[in-house]
Amino acid sequence: MAICFLAIGVAANAQKDTIKKGGSIDITSSFKPVLRNAAKINFSATQLPADNSTPKLSYNIPSQNLFFSYQPVTLKPLAMEIDTNGPSHNSNYVKAGFGNFSTPYIEAGFSFGDGKKTNVNLFANHISSKGKLPYQQYSQSSFSLNGNFVTNKLEWYGKAGYKQDTYYQYGDTMAKHLSKDDVRNQFQTVNVQAGFKNAFVNPLGISYNPDLNINIFTDNRKGTESNAVLDIPVEKRVTKSFGVKLGATANMTQYKPADKESFSNNIYNINGAFLMTTPDFYLNLGIKPTWNNSIYNTLPDIRGEYRVQEEKFVFQAGWIGYYIKNNYQNLAAVNPYIAQPLTQFNTKVLERYAGFKGSVANHFNYNIKAAAITWYDMALYKNDSANPRIFKVARENKLKALQLHSELGYVVKDQFNLSAALNYYSFYSIQTEDKPWHLLPIELNAMLRWQPVKDVWIKGDLFAWRGGKYQTPDKVDYRLDGALDLNAGVEFKATKMINVFTNFNNILNRHYQRWNGYQSLGFNFVGGVIVNFDQNR
């Protein structure tokens, strides 16, 4: 116990010794840290030798005509689009000529606007011919006014026109004993179309183009038809490569035959699809719920393209379905010698196809595909047994065919354009009729547009086909002879305002028949002048 108290006392004395009474600290200098001087390294660069070699730069520019969805169309020259980047100009012309078979020809076109935000075009034409056979004559006249106006976000467009086509049913030896009014088929069409679309894709990636097209179609036998097509397509780009498409179409017809009650023929469909687009791949995966006069069908809309070797070889395949509207206006456009129909029906088409397309060596392009096609309720044209000069529309329940379609083209800027298209059909199944009346199994079209020197233009067209089957009044079927129709034309500038042109048609003078009993005119020509004025280029 004593030892413990002794230790405590020693520790207390030790703590007292650490405190210096009355002490002070004198600071003679503040602390200043200093870095040691570093040795500087000097670099001495040697200049590289000059590269005098010429670099070889290769550019891989993809072709701009590869990823269009397949839509077969007839071959025809297209007018060059207005260059909105250059100075605005108005093009006005009158084209007039005359040819054999008492053929007057006149065409006029006028344009107004600045060529950028406002464009208005006025167009009119007339042609008629009279052959050597009784009532072998026709005339076609049309007038149209087109306009489009561009605002900051929208492009508005509209069209109004009138057309009158007159044909005579001369395809029977008994026609010469009838009056002109008895064999005349005259059709009038009044057309009004309007729509708008967004000029640029909006921030949400949505593009749209509502369109309304109205046609009033009448004939000289008190037949009246009203057709209206309302189309509302909308597309949404989710990303750069993915998108969706949704649209609705109403195709409505109200038809009244002479001395009969009117009735309607309507088709409604909704189009929904998933879109995928990459530099080497395109896919449209969709369906079309469709109501054909209240009868429901689901139609496929599947199309794809895959670039195998850059733009030289593109594989394409698809499974698509659609309807052909067999209203009076469309039937008369195919065969103007038909009788006024008393009923209407529409054709459902299912098509599976595969092929390839591409472009080679900057100028050559091609498109080849094979398809299996099925038509339901196909419209066929048969000579009426009582009046062979008149065609009746027959309804084929189901028709199948294999198709080979090919297109070839060679283009050098706007100086040379050579193209050809071939359609081959092998009809292998038919249910209702004996033969596919007046359908062409082979059809070839070719076109040449060439400017060999300045102010000289040469054109050529070739139409060839194997004739279709037809049936005589005693129920015997035959095949029409094939056709080979070669046309050529030349145009050159005579003065600053006047061009001279001439066209030669059916140069081989073949009297072929597209429709049984209706012989073609044979060789014919038209020559004249084109007057251009009020052009500020």
Q: Which of 169-183, 364-378, 485-499 has the lowest mean pLDDT?
A: 169-183
pLDDT tens column, 189-232: 999 999 999 988 788 889 999 999 999 999 999 999 999 999 99
- Mean pLDDT of the 284-289 span: 98
Domains assigned to the chain: 66-200 (no CATH), 207-214+224-533 (2.40.170.20)
Q: What percent of the chain has pLDDT over 90?
A: 74
Alpha helices by DSSP H, listed for 170-277, are 180-183
- Mean pLDDT of the 500-524 span: 96
- Mean pLDDT of the 424-433 span: 97
User: Whole-angstrom Cα distance, residue 35 to residue 97?
Assistant: 101
20: pLDDT strictly greater than 90: no
- Residue 211's SS3 state is strand
Q: Between 536 and 275, where is the model more confident?
A: 275
Chain Cα centroid distance, residue 150: 22
pLDDT of residue 143: 97
- Mean pLDDT of the 275-289 span: 96
pLDDT of residue 117: 86
Of the candidates 429, 450, 413, the one whose C-alpha atom is nearest the C-alpha of residue 376 is: 429
**Contact status, residue 407 vs residue 424, Cβ threshold 8 Å:** no
Q: What percent of the chain has pLDDT over 70?
A: 82
Q: Which of 85-89, 230-234, 319-323 has the lowest mean pLDDT?
A: 85-89
273: pLDDT strictly greater than 50: yes
pLDDT of residue 414: 86
pTM: 0.82
Q: Between 82 and 502, where is the model more confident?
A: 502
**Mean pLDDT computed over every residue of the chain:** 87
463: pLDDT strictly greater than 70: yes
Angle at the Cα of 161 (from 156 to 163), degrees rounded to 5? Answer: 155
Q: Between 144 and 46, where is the model more confident?
A: 144
Name the band, by pLDDT with cuts 50, 70 and 90, for residue 4.
Answer: very low
127: pLDDT strictly greater than 90: yes
57: pLDDT strictly greater than 90: no
pLDDT of residue 298: 97
pLDDT of residue 39: 54
pLDDT tens column, 344-353: 999 999 999 9
410: pLDDT strictly greater than 60: yes
Cβ-based neighbour number of residue 236 at 10 Å: 16
